[in-house]
Structure 1
Amino acid sequence: MPQRKRAGAPQVPTIRAVSVQRLLERIDKDDEKVAALLARHDVALAGLIDPYAIMPLAHYIALLEDAADLLDAPHLGAEMGSCFRPADIGPTGLLFSLSGTLGDAFARMGRYLPAFQTSTSSGLLNAGDHMLWAYRIHDPRIWPRRQDAEYAVMATCELIRSCLTSPWWPVEVHFEHAAPADVGPLRRLFRAPILFDQPTNGLLLSRQDVERVNRVEDRDLMHILERHVTELLQVHLAEDSFTGRVEWLIAMYLDKRPITLEGMAAALGLPQRSLQRRLAEEGTSLRQLLRDHRTRLADARLGEGRGDVAGLVQALGYSERSVLSRAYRGWTGRSLIRGRKPVRAS
């Protein structure tokens, strides 16, 4: 298979190291076990003084997972997210909280998130009478990532509340990981129905909440913040590939509708031939991306030991198990019941 061409893109997904600050508030930095944990994930406390320092995203997510085990805090991510402040993600968070509507806020977050965290997509999708805010890390090797997902979704709830003057709760909460043994604490934190094993992490919002005008924007201040975050974003522009956008759309819609070139092009506002050409320039095609996504999703679920093959058939956009079984053997050379266990990225 040809390699995707992403000239100038970072070799590994990254995140601003300041993200670790919220975790540091929960731990005893003088504890020998904690010190060993930070060292194992290449986290130097001195380096966290710089708000623009970066670290590998895989190290950060693995750190959260290990910290949850060390602290015996299975809901660590969500608890951290409940203390989130807009400034925790720098100018992107401030732009969100100062936006006139939640629709404008999420549009800015989707545009500028790569300045804070790469190889990640977020944005609003139509969901009937509602809107779905979706958050997803592209790299399937970064797994497990439950703590990051629960942190990001809860933190986004707090971001939304920073825009509003009245109490607010989501219509639904979605997570891509399986349900934990005890869902009670999450239900109490989110105060909304929670769905697991979803195509993406996210929040279901009322369209009225998204479109309501909450404030008059300070245009001068917004311009200053947007100029600053745009400068930060320049080094990550290569990451904003058409491959990444199509991968995200596949993940969003695979279990809901047929994935076609026509549908993908329409979602991106491009002619079909233009999308084909852009993907070819990046060394891939819609057919290859769809196959890769289905293989990764099947391997991830089978590797976790989930026995719900019927659910996997639906999630991969097939109508029958036999069709999926033949396709999976063609992709991997293995039978469906011998899926490999995914490895954590390093």
Structure 2
Amino acid sequence: MKKVTLNGSFPMIRAAVMGPVVRALDQSGADCDTLLQAFGMSRRLLSNPYEMLPLTRYVAAFERAAEVLGESSLGLRLGSELQLTELGPAGLVFLSSPTLRAALRKFALALASWQNTTACELLHDDEWPIWTYQIASPQIWPRRQDAEYSLSIMCHMIRLVRGAAWNPVEVHFEHAAPADLKPYARIFRVPVRFQQPCNGMILRPQDLAASLKSADTQMARMMERHATDLIASDTVPHSIVEQVRDLITRRLAHEKLIVADIAKDLGLSHRSLQRHLAEQGTSVRQILREERQRSVAGLLERDGLTNAAIARAVGYADATVLWRATRNWKNKPT
């Protein structure tokens, strides 16, 4: 049967990135839980910073949060206030690198452990180096908040290692210019250009060679190893069946699984997903049943778990629903 791949993997990002957004909503008194629920998330899901979320949901939730708060430059502000630990190993690799050049390059490599399908690199255009950031999937749009958050973070991190007075040469964004440009002047303190080919920050050549006072060779090695281990352990499967199975497994206990939502997270239409799975002799419903059977079998081997707890762990409302499901499983082939 034909093996279908989606550019190698579907866009994912660690739950830790939602921390600043949740704090901003809570501090304003906004209904954070309702917003999270609208995008298939919850505080319980986000309590594990290593949990992986569909990038599409994160980007859309960030855009909605800015609307709810009435703060169009939310990403800019949150990036300038970020705690480096919320970037996982990428933030600590940056902080402990010997020079800014090394910090930017090691950061780009380590960031792959925190989010995928993102182009993040240090380029040299003639004599002016530029650090660029861009979500690789053009279908994820609008994405203004994520872009401004990411460049604001990088400016903030460089100032942490080079001093608060440091400024880039120029800042570029792929989206159109908003009506109010004052927040950009306040954060970057340099010219900002919009509707550019990519998001980027132009630096001075001498910036790259400067030694960083926060350099820590042992820490850098540890965090690089940690990032490598995360990438290896969370590599997303390539076949469409494996990708659907992986997504269902991650979401089983946390949210209601809807075929249309799964298709959207994979960058497919509802009909296309069904067609691809049918070509391989399966369906979302069948994969979901298989994963629930596997999970229930494992949970039943644990001591002290009630049927109600097992039911919740596999996404059922209560023990009665679980009992009905297990009875049906016995009458159907696996």
Give TM class, smaller chain. Answer: 0.5 to 0.7
Shift of 1:222: 2.0
Shift of 1:51: 1.8
Task: Write the distance in 1 (CA, Å) between the matches of 2:4 and 2:206.
Answer: 40
Shift of 1:85: 2.4
Cα 1:177–1:31 change in 2 (3 A) is same
The residue number in structure 2 matching 1:100 is 98
The residue number in structure 2 matching 1:160 is 158
Task: Map Cα deviations across residues 288-318 of structure 1 (whole Å, 9 max, x no partner).
Answer: xxxxxxxxxxxxxxxxxxxxxxxxxxxxxxx
Cα 1:187–1:228 change in 2 (3 A) is same
Shift of 1:185: 1.8
Equivalent residue of 1:136, what SS? strand
Shift of 1:237: 5.8
1:14 equivalent among 3, 8, 12? 12
Cα 1:30–1:79 change in 2 (3 A) is closer
- Is it true that 1:141 corresponds to 2:139 in the alignment? yes
Cα 1:127–1:237 change in 2 (3 A) is farther
Note if contact 1:29-1:35 (Cα within 8 Å) is conserved in structure 2. no
Task: Write the distance in 1 (CA, Å) between the matches of 2:25 and 2:67.
Answer: 12
Shift of 1:225: 1.6
Once superposed, what is the RMSD of the aligned Cα atoms? 2.4
Note if contact 1:15-1:117 (Cα within 8 Å) is conserved in structure 2. yes
Shift of 1:19: 0.6
Q: Which runs of 5+ in 1 are unaligned?
A: 240-346
Note if contact 1:6-1:238 (Cα within 8 Å) is conserved in structure 2. no
Equivalent residue of 2:112, what SS? helix
Q: Give matches, 1:265-344, under 5 Å.
A: none
Give the alignment's TM-score, normalised by structure 2: 0.66
Aligned length: 237
Identity %: 36
Shift of 1:212: 1.4
The residue number in structure 2 matching 1:118 is 116
Shift of 1:217: 3.9
Task: Write the distance in 1 (CA, Å) between the matches of 2:83 and 2:65.
Answer: 21
Partner amino acid, structure 2, of 1:234: A
Task: Write the distance in 1 (CA, Å) between the matches of 2:67 and 2:121.
Answer: 31
- Is it true that 1:188 corresponds to 2:193 in the alignment? no
Q: Give matches, 1:126-275, under 5 Å.
A: 126-165=124-163, 167-215=165-213, 217-235=215-233
Shift of 1:214: 2.1
Partner amino acid, structure 2, of 1:132: I
Note if contact 2:104-2:121 (Cα within 8 Å) is conserved in structure 1. yes
Shift of 1:149: 0.4
Partner amino acid, structure 2, of 1:224: M
Cα 1:125–1:30 change in 2 (3 A) is closer
Note if contact 2:161-2:214 (Cα within 8 Å) is conserved in structure 1. no
Shift of 1:109: 1.4
Task: Map Cα deviations across residues 15-56 of structure 1 (whole Å, 9 max, x no partner).
Answer: 111111101111138967432211001121012221211111
Partner amino acid, structure 1, of 2:25: I
Equivalent residue of 2:168, what SS? coil
Task: Write the distance in 2 (CA, Å) between the matches of 1:33 and 1:49.
Answer: 18
Task: Write the distance in 2 (CA, Å) between the matches of 1:15 and 1:173.
Answer: 25
Give the alignment's TM-score, normalised by structure 1: 0.64
Task: Write the distance in 2 (CA, Å) between the matches of 1:54 and 1:23.
Answer: 16
Cα 1:32–1:183 change in 2 (3 A) is closer
Partner amino acid, structure 1, of 2:212: N
Shift of 1:219: 2.5
Task: Write the distance in 2 (CA, Å) between the matches of 1:32 and 1:238.
Answer: 34
> Larger Cα Rg: Structure 1 or Structure 2?
2
Task: Write the distance in 2 (CA, Å) between the matches of 1:184 and 1:31.
Answer: 25
Partner amino acid, structure 2, of 1:15: I
Note if contact 1:118-1:236 (Cα within 8 Å) is conserved in structure 2. no
Note if contact 2:76-2:149 (Cα within 8 Å) is conserved in structure 1. yes
Task: Write the distance in 2 (CA, Å) between the matches of 1:4 and 1:202.
Answer: 33
Task: Write the distance in 2 (CA, Å) between the matches of 1:3 and 1:203.
Answer: 40
Task: Map Cα deviations across residues 172-220 of structure 1 (whole Å, 9 max, x no partner).
Answer: 0110001011112222221110010111101000010011122484332
Cα 1:92–1:70 change in 2 (3 A) is same
Task: Write the distance in 2 (CA, Å) between the matches of 1:148 and 1:219.
Answer: 30
1:52 equivalent among 46, 50, 58? 50
Task: Write the distance in 1 (CA, Å) between the matches of 2:20 and 2:131.
Answer: 23
Q: Which runs of 5+ in 2 are unaligned?
A: 238-334
Note if contact 1:175-1:197 (Cα within 8 Å) is conserved in structure 2. yes
Task: Write the distance in 2 (CA, Å) between the matches of 1:217 and 1:81.
Answer: 22
Task: Write the distance in 2 (CA, Å) between the matches of 1:220 and 1:85.
Answer: 21
Shift of 1:60: 0.5
Equivalent residue of 1:131, what SS? strand
